[in-house]
């Protein structure tokens, strides 16, 4: 902050017990919300995953490893997890490749136009996720926009199978997660001082060399944060496969959904959900080691 | 120089394509909502408004709309109140454990909604509470809170402390300074948080499907249910209304937060 050192700021509460109590009591409601509605729920997932299930379907409050044994013992779950991880990886890579250019382009623009594009970047997140997903139905369907245009131009005898398969799920997921990826790459790029790039150019680097030696290297935490978020959210998405997937489009999150709401098997559902938490924790730990958690959640400047 | 210009126009074209990919598909939904044919056709067989005028006649949609509006209003107002006070504490106090609190309040953004959905359901069951409307509100607060803390926090960090110090030096106490200086300066961010929280709550479906009591539907859950049966233009008209509403709200929010910003107020001159 731009304060002269040694100046004790009056508005920045630092000392006093009264100040400390005030600060904690202001933060207390939010902390209680997170503790009760985020942390306690994750904890209860842990507890339920070690509980059994009675033949009646009710939860048996007795310690058991049965859920974990079933998860690791049955190849069915490993197959679906592998399929989901592959989808999440493909979606992440596509978003990173497709998203980097636009994020970089926005940083090149003069302020007024940049502000407009940044605002447009947030526009998709104002629009309902369900609506964005279902908007592919009239586009990719058998009599949809793409097939109508192709058939009308006489290029196709039979419509392309674009909908209700892994292709449409991938398209839907990329559309859903791309804005998030671009925002994160953009946040990373904001950390790059243009003077450094100019210095590299002055020292004889080509534009491409300067980009990789300076821009990309300084901005990588943004890309990494974007990849982490995209991957985890793709892993946890079941709405997109539900709307755009085929009859056999069971991804990991759909499995969680069915285990809970169709089979009502809460202990096993909790076990399945913990696997997502495990991937999130592993990704976050790696990110914290390499880039530091403080590089995440930085402000988007216009 | 010319090579640089080529790279730039290539990047520009790519950016345009990507923005079209993110935003244009919803236009197809709006387009089809005016289609005379009950199923999607290209081109339209005729133009009609009947799918829109049919919306208010559907009691299920009206009921779901009521639920969604009430839910989003409760969740966004509470979340903004709780989140803004916490953001103020984080931005204006230096206390031990501050970084930890900051992390704790923002990290839920990363947790997939399905995990939040499942977890909260089990936690409530754990203490013997059934699915209910208050459970939905509480869940939506958990989901929207980190956005409020982040958005308002960033804005509070950007306000120069000197302004508040000047007020304190002139004899204002903390509360007076907050009301006269901090709050007006942070108002655009608080408004944006409130509106964004409202829209996120209104649109949330991934966790909500786990929390919905048997006889309650929200607009997104109702659309999901409609999609199970068939895709006709009624869904498209409902979706179009939703698109119009959310884009409109986003637009109004940007304009309002601009009008509320200090620069704009300075240009209008001092209050008399």
Token pair belonging to B271: 């209050």
Token pair belonging to A102: 């636009």
Closest CA to A171 of A115, A71, A95: A95
Q: What class, spelled out in words, does domain A74-295 have in CATH?
A: mainly alpha
- Per-residue pLDDT for A15 more than 70? no
Q: Is residue B43 part of a domain?
A: no
Q: What average pLDDT does chain A have?
A: 89
Residues in chain B within 8 Å Cβ distance of A229: 110
Token pair belonging to B83: 């989140």
**What does the alpha-carbon distance between residue B208 and residue A18 come to, in Å, rounded to a whole number?**
40
Helices B59-92 and B133-158, axial angle in degrees (round to 10): 40
Out of B42, B114, B168, the one facing A256 most closely (by C-beta) is: B114
- Per-residue pLDDT for B35 more than 70? yes
Q: Is residue B220 part of a domain?
A: yes
The tens digit of pLDDT for each residue in B51-92 reads 888 888 899 999 999 999 999 999 999 999 999 999 999 998
DSSP string across chain A: ----TT---SSSB-S-HHHHHHHHHHHHHHHHHHIIIIIHHHHHHHHHTTEEE-TTS-EEEEE--HHHHHHHH-HHHHHHHHHHHHHHHHHHHHHHHHHHHHHHHHHHS-HHHHHHHHHHHHHHHHS-HHHHHHTTHHHHSTTSHHHHHHHHTT--SS----SSSHHHHHHHHHHHHHHHHHHHHHHHHHTS-HHHHHHHHHTT--HHHHIIIIIHHHHHHHHHHHHHHHHHHHHT--HHHHHHS-TT---HHHHHHHHHHTS--HHHHHHHHHHHHHHHHHHHHHHHHHT-GGGTT-----
Closest CA to A229 of A300, A169, A179: A179
B96: alpha, beta or left, given left = phi > 0 and alpha = psi -120 to 50?
beta
- CATH number for the domain spanning B184: value is 1.10.3720.10
Q: Is residue B188 part of a domain?
A: yes
- Say whether B89 and A27 touch across the interface (CB within 8 A): yes
Q: Is residue B36 part of a domain?
A: no
Residues in chain B within 8 Å Cβ distance of A104: 11
- Per-residue pLDDT for B118 more than 90? yes
Q: Which of A6-10, B43-47, B80-84 has the highest mean pLDDT?
A: B80-84
> How many Cα atoms sit within 13 Å of B151 on the Cβ side?
21
- Say whether A47 and B125 touch across the interface (CB within 8 A): no
Beta pairing partners, A60 = A52
pLDDT of residue B20: 95
B20 vs chain A: nearest CA distance in angstroms? 10
Q: Is residue B86 part of a domain?
A: yes
Q: Is residue B49 part of a domain?
A: no
Q: Are B91 and A11 in contact (CB under 8 A)?
A: no
**What does the alpha-carbon distance between residue A1 and residue A10 come to, in Å, rounded to a whole number?**
14
Q: What is the mean pLDDT of residues B230-239?
A: 83
Out of B23, B101, B205, the one facing A27 most closely (by C-beta) is: B101
Does residue B259 belong to the interface with chain A, where contact is any CB pair within 8 Å?
no
- Per-residue pLDDT for A27 more than 90? yes
Q: What average pLDDT does chain B have?
A: 90
ipTM: 0.90
pLDDT of residue B73: 98
pLDDT of residue B271: 53
pLDDT of residue B151: 92
**What does the alpha-carbon distance between residue B63 and residue B19 come to, in Å, rounded to a whole number?**
34
Tell whether omega for the bond before B270 is within 30 degrees of 0, i.e. cis.
no
Q: Which ranges in chain B belong to alpha helices (H)?
A: 2-32, 50-53, 59-92, 98-106, 113-126, 133-158, 161-169, 174-177, 183-203, 208-211, 219-229, 233-260, 262-268
pLDDT of residue A130: 95
Does residue B121 belong to the interface with chain A, where contact is any CB pair within 8 Å?
yes
- Per-residue pLDDT for B190 more than 50? yes
Residues in chain A within 8 Å Cβ distance of B21: 175, 178
Query: Would you place residue B270 in the very low, low, confident or very high pLDDT band (cuts 50, 70, 90)?
Result: low
- Per-residue pLDDT for A1 more than 80? no
- Per-residue pLDDT for B272 more than 50? no
- Say whether B108 and A38 touch across the interface (CB within 8 A): yes
- Say whether A277 and B115 touch across the interface (CB within 8 A): yes
Tell me the Cα Rg of chain B.
23
Token pair belonging to A189: 């790029």
Token pair belonging to A294: 């403080």
Full domain range(s) for residue B176: 58-268
Name the maximum alpha-carbon separation found in chain B. Answer: 71
Q: Which range has the worst mean pLDDT, A17-26, A114-123, B181-190, B224-233?
A: B224-233
- Per-residue pLDDT for B98 more than 70? yes
Does residue B168 belong to the interface with chain A, where contact is any CB pair within 8 Å?
yes
Report the number of distinct structural domains present in chain B. 1
Find where tokens 């002055």 sit. A202
Token pair belonging to B134: 């208050």
**What does the alpha-carbon distance between residue A64 and residue A300 come to, in Å, rounded to a whole number?**
47
- Say whether A108 and B105 touch across the interface (CB within 8 A): no
pLDDT of residue A13: 62
* Residue A182 exposed, middle or buried by CB count within 10 Å (0-12, 13-18, 19+): buried
pLDDT of residue A2: 39
- At B50, give phi and psi (nearest 5°): -65, -25
Query: Would you place residue A6 in the very low, low, confident or very high pLDDT band (cuts 50, 70, 90)?
Result: very low
> How many Cα atoms sit within 13 Å of A85 on the Cβ side?
10
Residue in chain A nearest B148 by alpha carbon: A30
Closest CA to B148 of B102, B193, B103: B193
Residue partners of A277: CB distance under 8 A and separation at least 6: A42, A45, B111, B115
Q: What is the mean pLDDT of residues B116-137?
A: 92
**What does the alpha-carbon distance between residue A227 and residue B60 come to, in Å, rounded to a whole number?**
39
A75 vs chain B: nearest CA distance in angstroms? 23
Q: Is residue B150 part of a domain?
A: yes
The tens digit of pLDDT for each residue in A127-167 reads 999 999 999 998 998 888 888 888 888 777 788 888 899 99
The residue of A21, A23, A96 whose CB has the most chain B CBs within 10 angstroms, and thus the best one to mutate to test that interface, is A23
- Per-residue pLDDT for B141 more than 50? yes
pLDDT of residue A3: 40
Q: Is residue B33 part of a domain?
A: no
- Say whether A139 and B25 touch across the interface (CB within 8 A): yes
Q: Are B62 and A168 in contact (CB under 8 A)?
A: no
């Amino acid at each position: 902050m731009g304060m002269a050192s040694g100046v004790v700021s009056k508005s920045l509460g630092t000392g006093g017990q009264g100040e400390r109590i005030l600060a904690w009591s202001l933060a207390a409601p939010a902390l209680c919300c997170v503790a009760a509605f985020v942390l306690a729920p994750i904890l209860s997932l842990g507890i339920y995953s070690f509980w059994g299930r009675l033949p009646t379907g009710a939860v048996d409050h007795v310690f058991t490893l049965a859920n974990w044994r079933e998860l690791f013992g049955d190849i069915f779950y490993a197959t679906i997890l592998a399929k989901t991880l592959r989808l999440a990886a493909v979606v992440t890579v596509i978003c990173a490749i497709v998203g980097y250019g636009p994020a970089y382009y926005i940083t090149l623009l003069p302020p007024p136009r940049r502000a407009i594009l940044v605002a447009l970047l947030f526009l998709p997140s104002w629009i309902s996720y369900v609506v964005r997903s279902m908007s592919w139905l009239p586009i990719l369907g058998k009599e949809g926009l793409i097939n109508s245009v192709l058939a009308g131009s006489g290029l196709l005898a039979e419509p392309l199978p674009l909908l209700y398969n892994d292709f449409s799920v991938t398209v839907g997921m990329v559309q859903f997660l791309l804005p998030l990826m671009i925002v994160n790459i953009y946040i990373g790029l904001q950390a790059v001082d243009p003077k450094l790039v100019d210095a590299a150019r002055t020292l004889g680097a080509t534009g491409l060399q300067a980009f990789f030696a300076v821009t990309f290297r300084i901005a990588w935490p943004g890309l990494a944060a974007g990849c982490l978020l995209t991957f985890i959210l793709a892993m946890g998405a079941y709405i997109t496969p539900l709307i755009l997937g085929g009859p056999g489009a069971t991804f990991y999150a759909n499995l969680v959904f069915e285990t809970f709401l169709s089979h009502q098997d809460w202990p096993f559902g909790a076990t399945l959900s913990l696997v997502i938490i495990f991937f999130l924790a592993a990704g976050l730990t790696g990110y914290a080691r390499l880039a530091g958690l403080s590089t995440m959640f930085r402000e988007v400047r216009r | 120089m010319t090579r640089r210009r080529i790279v730039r126009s290539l990047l520009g074209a790519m950016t345009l394509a990507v923005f079209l990919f993110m935003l244009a598909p919803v236009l197809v939904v709006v387009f089809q909502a005016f289609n005379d044919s009950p199923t999607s056709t290209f081109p339209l067989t005729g133009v009609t408004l009947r799918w829109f005028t049919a919306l208010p006649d559907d009691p299920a949609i009206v009921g779901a709309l009521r639920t969604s509006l009430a839910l989003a209003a409760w969740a966004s107002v509470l979340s903004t109140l709780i989140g803004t006070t916490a953001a103020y504490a984080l931005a204006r106090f230096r206390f031990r454990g501050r970084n930890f609190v900051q992390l704790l309040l923002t990290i839920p953004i990363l947790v997939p909604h399905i995990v939040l959905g499942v977890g909260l359901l089990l936690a409530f069951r754990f203490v013997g509470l059934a699915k209910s409307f208050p459970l939905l509100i509480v869940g939506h607060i958990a989901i929207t809170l980190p956005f409020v803390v982040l958005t308002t926090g960033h804005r509070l960090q950007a306000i120069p402390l000197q302004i508040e110090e000047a007020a304190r030096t002139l004899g204002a106490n903390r509360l007076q300074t907050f009301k006269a200086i901090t709050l007006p300066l942070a108002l655009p961010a608080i408004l944006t948080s409130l509106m964004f929280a409202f829209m996120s709550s209104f649109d949330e479906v991934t966790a909500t499907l786990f929390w919905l009591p048997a006889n309650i539907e929200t607009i997104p859950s109702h659309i999901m249910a409609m999609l199970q049966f068939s895709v006709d233009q009624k869904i498209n008209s409902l979706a179009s209304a939703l698109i119009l509403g959310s884009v409109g709200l986003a637009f109004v929010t940007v304009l309002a937060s601009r009008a509320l910003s200090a620069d704009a107020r300075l240009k209008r001159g001092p209050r008399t």
